[in-house]
Every structure is written in C-alpha cells, then in structure tokens.
Amino acid sequence: MITALYAALLAILLFVLSIRVIGLRGNPAFSFIAQGKGDDALLQRAIRAHGNLTEYAPMMLILLAFLEQSGTSAMKLHMLAVSFLLGRLMHGLCMGFMKSNMPLRVGGTALTLFPLIIAAVALLMQHLQ
C-alpha cells in the first residue's frame, strides 16, 4: 500500500500541473491558477513540468511496486518515495510556476534521479541474489 499512497500523491501533483497548463492556455474556468496568461515562455515551462512528471513518475512507481512486493522495508520505500515526490514538487514548482529558480530545478532533478537509480539498482541486486 506504500506505492498506492505515493501514486495518489503524485496524481494530485499531476492534477495541479495539468490545471496550470489549462489555465495558461486561456481556459477561464482555471484563470485562478493562470497568473502570467499569455506568456508563451511560462506556458512552455508549465507544459514541460507536466510532461516531465508524466515521464518519470510511472517508472518510479513501477520500481516502488516491485520493491514493495519483494519485501523491501517500509522505511526504505518511504525514503525513496518521499525523495522522489519532493524532487517532483521542487521541479514542478520551478518549471510550472516560476520564470526561473535554478536551485529548485537542480535540486528537484537530483531528488528525482537519485531515488530512481537507487530503486533500480536495489531491484537488480535483489534479482542477482
């Protein structure tokens, strides 16, 4: 159920990033989240924040599910998942809502990639034993 928890949290983040893009595209129902409407650079950044989440989250959730199924401790799963979620939040905030904030972007990228590779290597190590 740990994987399910983080799948739900990531889905909420995806929802927020999605309505941000819809709002920036000019939909009046989502104008409350579209500060910067008409700013093409901001729209492109929001699109990439949304796309980037959809590119990374499925693989991380698959890895978490396999690790969880294999009996990896809850603490290790939560550490990987919280790091990944924090990374996606940082990256999504930076890319989707700001014109620039390089520390958030770099930190978010690191907190996305490190849990991903750690989870992949942990799964490989289990398979090789």
Q: What pLDDT is recorded for position 22?
A: 87
Domains of the chain: 2-128 (1.20.120.550)
The radius of gyration of the chain's CA atoms, rounded to the nearest angstrom, is 16
Phi, psi (rounded to 5 degrees) for 100: -170, 140
Name the pTM for this structure: 0.90
DSSP line for 50-66: HHHHHHHHHHHHHHHHH
pLDDT at 36: 59
The CA distance from 125 to 35, in Å, is 47
Residue type, 23: G
pLDDT in tens, 13-23: 999 999 989 88
Q: Are 31 and 22 in contact (CB under 8 A)?
A: no
Contacts of 105 (CB under 8 A, 6+ apart): 90, 91, 94, 95
Tens-place pLDDT, residues 33-74: 666 566 788 889 999 999 999 999 999 999 999 999 999 999
User: What is the 3-state composition of the chain as percent helix, strand, coil, each rounded to the nearest 5?
Assistant: 85, 0, 15
User: Is the confidence at residue 110, as pLDDT, over 80?
Assistant: yes
Q: How far apart are CA 90 and CA 108, in angstroms?
A: 5
